[in-house]
Structure 1
Amino acid sequence: MAKWDNMLSMLWMLRSGRKLTAAQIADNLEISVRTVYRYIDALCASGVPVVAESGHEGGIRILGNFKETPLFFNSVELKALMDAFKFAQGAGYPYTEELESALKKVENGLHEEQRHDLSLQMSGLDVISPVRPPSAVLLLKELEQAAKDGRTLHIAYRKVNAELASERDIDPYGLVYDRNEWYAVAFCRRSQAVRTFRVDRIARLELTEARFEKPERFSASVYFRDQSERRREADGPLTVIRIEGEPGTLNAVCGHWHLRHYLTERTDREARFLLDVPTMNKYLPMYLMTFGTAIRIREPLELKRQIREMAYGVAKHYEDGPD
């Protein structure tokens, strides 16, 4: 066990309030008595009031006025905190500056040996951050604050493939992070229903004077998950969709935020989905065509036909001819 882990274990033993001899501590931690006294000196230097009383009724104890501080993390716990910061930063978490400041305070309370040990462990993990505009951080903060305060927002929202943004008032219930994207779950006053809005598609956001109360026990994450799993275009007959491809390409197909919920079987070279026909017809031909020749649709024949016709139309569009 590392030195600082041993010291932390010794601290927890002494916090029980009992007096312990150096021999008892050494036996419990499987270290020498001499090492125990070195650890006592190090704890005292850290501000922990450890006292060693001699005599028949003596022993090692901590003074009763000692209060635990958050600086007493073991090396793995410190690494976990720093790694969590990397993930938060990669996700575009809007309070990374404040989180970094808090971690700096923790780091400043460490001994030189702890800092060195932490720097060695920190070199093994990195998180690649997607490129996000600075405005995204401001949007997330404003959405979260409005959800907390119960304030209605007026937004300009740009749907995918739409040329113009549409205006609407929303009551934000919460934020959800899923597969590198942030979503606001909100009650849309225009449609009079709860909707999900991708934050990067909010072109403009303004605070209004209107207020709202979030439904009791409403969970944005539960709503988002339920909608992702159940959303379909219409009730209709189900069909088996069988797709072949390389493992990496199939991972991308199966990882699609919506399609993944209909996956029924997966091997290294094939994936099977069970999906209703209206949803298949509306979304899958365009999406699957983006994979080109990296995948092959085995069934149903109708989906193969739609993709073939769509590909032919694109090829026809780019045939040589007058500009």
Structure 2
Amino acid sequence: MLWILRTGRKLTATEIADSLEISVRTVYRYIDALCASGVPVVAESGHDGGIRILESFKETPLFFNSVEVKALVDAYKFAQGAGYPYTEELESALKKVENGLHEEQRHDLSHQSNGLDVISPSRLPSVISLLRDLEQAVKGGLTVRMTYRKANAEQDDEREVDPYGLAYDRNEWYAVAFCHRSQAVRTFRVDRITRLEPTEARFEKPDRFSASVYFRDQSEREREADGPLTVIRIEGEPDTLNAICRHWHMRHYLTERTDREARFLLDVPTMNKHLPMYLMTFGTAIRIMEPLELKRRIQEVAYGIAKHYDEDSE
């Protein structure tokens, strides 16, 4: 109805009702709603009368119910907690929405949005500017030169990369980029980038590239072999199982989860190479129910560690 009235024509309630296939009573109810939203609707009676909008009206209001506005506020909190690089702009947009609310809606929003908080992980202030620069490089297809320090590395190294996209995973920001030095697509944790500068080189991003799909495919490639597959059953406390199920690699092989048990389907070579040492970190908080081969592998690793420290005490 608003779009019809914005044409500038003066229409009767009957004409509007016929055009929208609604009742005249509904037309007047919509007029009340438009007026409550700040739209200057004028209803003139008489032979030449009709319904129109004042010419001074320029903007179309956004119609949000209280839950929708609360969802926008909560989304802002999550974005801020994740270190989203455009939180200031997002906050400005949100204030514009709030300014369009009447007093009762503002009070309702304040009441509803106080029940949710997002605890932000500690993050270097430089990450925000790095994310902005990387996002612009992705958008513009611009090769960048960066200084990067790997985990546990003593020195930084310098490389040129073509950033294909950014991804937020497990409370960390990653740049997925083609590395000129290794001639392959790699992932780089943004907080480990110590310096970033643009170059004059340009690149073409692969069609339909998705950072999230790349992360998933990368986990698939981490498998040691295609088979044979085995079912892994792990019992434990819910919080401990949650940690295992959220693990960047294990989560892709989860097949079933109950309150006290998690089941995974994984190839045997990958299981034998990676899981014994990883699962040992949970100590007695979990119990391996099957397969027997994994239980024996963990026993061997535990025995080897115990023997190592027995020799030290002699």
- When normalised by structure 2's length, the TM-score is 0.81
Q: By how many angstroms is 1:53 displaced? A: 0.8
Q: By how many angstroms is 1:181 displaced? A: 2.1
Number of the residue aligned with 2:162: 171
Deviates more, 1:178-187 or 1:310-319: 310-319
Number of the residue aligned with 1:4: none
Contact 1:171 1:212 in 2 (8 A): yes
Amino acid at match of 1:274: L
Q: Distance in 1 between matches of 2:42 and 2:303?
A: 84
Contact 2:146 2:194 in 1 (8 A): yes
Paired residues for 1:308-323 under 5 Å: 308-315=299-306
Q: Does 1:140 align with 2:138?
A: no
Q: By how many angstroms is 1:281 displaced? A: 2.9
Contact 2:144 2:160 in 1 (8 A): yes
Deviations 1:113-164 (A, max 9, x none): 2221211121122222222111221221121122122222233434445454
Number of the residue aligned with 2:188: 197
Q: By how many angstroms is 1:232 displaced? A: 1.6
Deviations 1:30-66 (A, max 9, x none): 97xxx976x67645xx3x2210111256444434774
Q: By how many angstroms is 1:177 displaced? A: 1.6
Q: 1:104 aligns with which of 95, 99, 105?
A: 95
Q: 1:125 aligns with which of 116, 119, 143?
A: 116
Q: By how many angstroms is 1:173 displaced? A: 0.5
Deviations 1:57-112 (A, max 9, x none): 64444347744435543323322221111111111101111211222233234332
Number of the residue aligned with 2:177: 186
Q: Distance in 1 between matches of 2:36 and 2:255?
A: 58
Aligned length: 305
Q: Distance in 2 between matches of 1:182 and 1:109?
A: 34
Amino acid at match of 2:175: A
Q: Distance in 2 between matches of 1:128 and 1:30?
A: 47
Q: By how many angstroms is 1:314 displaced? A: 4.7
SS at 1:184's partner residue?
strand
Q: By how many angstroms is 1:175 displaced? A: 0.5
- Root-mean-square deviation (Å): 3.4
SS at 1:271's partner residue?
strand
Number of the residue aligned with 1:20: 13
Q: 1:83 aligns with which of 74, 77, 94?
A: 74
Amino acid at match of 2:12: K
Contact 1:246 1:294 in 2 (8 A): yes
SS at 1:307's partner residue?
helix
Amino acid at match of 1:195: R
Q: By how many angstroms is 1:293 displaced? A: 1.2
Number of the residue aligned with 2:141: 150
Q: Flag the 1:232–1:157 CA change in 2: closer, same or farther, 3 A.
A: farther
SS at 2:145's partner residue?
strand
Contact 2:142 2:201 in 1 (8 A): yes
Number of the residue aligned with 1:256: 247
Give structure 1 stretches of 5+ with no counterpart.
1-9
Q: Distance in 2 between matches of 1:211 and 1:57?
A: 64
- When normalised by structure 1's length, the TM-score is 0.79
